[in-house]
Amino acid sequence: MRYILKDRNLLLLFIVSFLFFLNETILLPVLPMVLHSLDYSNTEIGMTLGAFALGVVIFRPLTAYVTDNKSRKLSLLIGTAVFLIAPFLYFVSMDFTYLLCVRFFHGLGLSFFTTASPAFVSDCAPKNHRAEILGHMGVASSLASVGGPMLGVLIYNAWGIHQVLWGCIALGLLGIVLTVCIREKRLPDERKPEARAYINTLRNRCVMVASGLVLVLAVMYGGIFTFLPVLVKDQFSVNVGLIFMINSLSLVIIRLLTSHFSDRYGRGPVAFYSFLILCLSYYLIGRAGTTWELIGAGILNGIGAGGCLPALIAHVVDNTDARIRGIAFSIFYGAFDIGVLMGSAALGVLADMTSLRDMYILTAMFGLIALGGFALSIQAGPVRSLKWTLAGKKFNFNNKN
């Protein structure tokens, strides 16, 4: 965290990121609970939550253009503005079709913010500390997840959904004020990216394979945040916000302690072994019979996600030009959005066909298959890929896309 504390702009962005994701996370577990109380099916809950991700996906090319050709700061401002406006719209109705539209618009804010934020950080971070700084910046969203879900559930249980929404509005307003104070760094090379830059980035092996794994991670993520509140409410006598808080605390701790590991030992091993832990956590959620077993699975989930994502993000930055990082991150986070969209809807159908517990176990098996594909394809040639993935910097390779 020393690099962030020394840099005024990174520190401001850290605070803005915390407020932005707190805005999201206090509503995230509450909305499925509200819809469940209105007799929405698991499939309808998944579709409603997934509409948010659809909005993010649809606008990714636009957010990439604004971030690379206009301003990182402008994208940050648009993102925070949407998160101020959207909560007002939930006051109008909880009708299924209307909520799909509101969630779609709400996703626009996340699309702008998550495209611009890592690009802004990457502009400021030295290469030999890139993963460490990106990982520590990610602590902002993790800290928001520590208290956000539990706070949202507590407010909802005490006063109802309207007070949760007013909290989101207050956080959005404060986020805009602080974003205005950020000063954007101008890169030495001011040339704009070529018109074919988006297509060329799609041909980048490092970007696309990393994006493929993060897509699967997002499908699994959808299973946690969309359906865990329902599973806990039906089968465990515990506030689901507590599970989210413990999960996020483990994620924060692992990022603070190990974000520099991929700078030291290599991106591949950190991403691979962390994702393996992530798969184990989903299997254990499906098998959990007590609250303590569920908490243990939540801790492992935080460890896996906290180790995997910074390594993958740093790998994308390592293999893209600074002028097209907005494009690269629009693809990378677009894959995450598609995964959330697919996960919320597909896992809802799967849960209705089997059960919530079986859905988590099948998700873990799917994750293991995806991890095998990642290990065999992230570099040119399966042998080279396996060495890069399993041993990292013990082998000296020249990266090839």
Nearest Cα neighbor of 384 from 394, 372, 376 is 376
- Greater confidence (311 vs 259) lies with 311
CA distances from 388 to 266, 269, 274 (A): 8, 7, 15
Report d(CA 143, CA 112) in Å as an integer.
Answer: 21
Using CA atoms, how far residue 193 sits from 73, 211, 307, 309, 317, in Å, is 18, 21, 31, 26, 16
Residue 398's pLDDT band, with cuts at 50, 70 and 90, is very low
How far is it, in rounded angstroms, from Cα 182 to Cα 157? 36
pLDDT at 300: 92
Domains and CATH numbers, the chain: 2-183+201-394 (1.20.1250.20)
pLDDT of residue 401: 42
pLDDT of residue 3: 66
* Average pLDDT score over residue span 323-329: 76
Structure tokens at 9: 């702009």
What is residue 279's predicted lDDT score, i.e. its pLDDT? 93
Instruction: Tell me what pLDDT residue 400 has.
Output: 43
What confidence category does residue 39 fall into, taking pLDDT thresholds of 50, 70 and 90? confident
CA distances from 239 to 36, 183, 332 (A): 16, 41, 33
pLDDT band at 7 (very low <50, low <70, confident <90, very high): confident
**Both structure tokens of 83:** 């998160």
At a CB cut-off of 8 Å and minimum separation 6, what does 254 contact? 302, 303, 306, 307
Any idea what DSSP says for residue 184?
A: P
Q: What is the pTM of this model?
A: 0.72
* Rounded distance between C-alpha atoms, residue 262 and residue 274, angstroms: 11
**Residue range 367-386, pLDDT digits in tens:** 999 999 998 988 888 888 88
Q: Which tens digits make up the pLDDT trace of 116-139?
A: 888 888 777 766 676 677 778 878
**Does residue 348 carry a pLDDT above 50?**
yes
Q: Residue 282: pLDDT above 80?
A: yes
The rounded percent of the chain whose pLDDT value lies above 90 is: 20
Nearest 5°: phi and psi at 78? -65, -45
pLDDT reading at 205 higher than 50: yes
The answer to whether residues 134 and 313 touch, using CB atoms and an 8 Å cutoff, is: yes
pLDDT band at 394 (very low <50, low <70, confident <90, very high): low
Tens digits of residue pLDDT in 143-154 = 887 778 778 888
Place of tokens 């517990």: 357
Residue 39, C-beta contacts closer than 8 angstroms, at least 6 positions apart: none
Query: What was the pLDDT predicted at 82?
Result: 95
Helices (DSSP H) in 354-394: which residue ranges? 356-377, 382-390
Q: Which helix (H) or strand (E) holds 32?
A: helix 30-37
**pLDDT at residue 395 in the model:** 54
Contacts of 111 (CB under 8 A, 6+ apart): 55, 56, 57, 59, 60, 62, 63, 79, 333, 337
CB distance 389 to 374 below 8 Å? yes
As to burial, measured by CB atoms within 10 angstroms (0-12 exposed, 13-18 middle, 19+ buried), residue 15 is middle
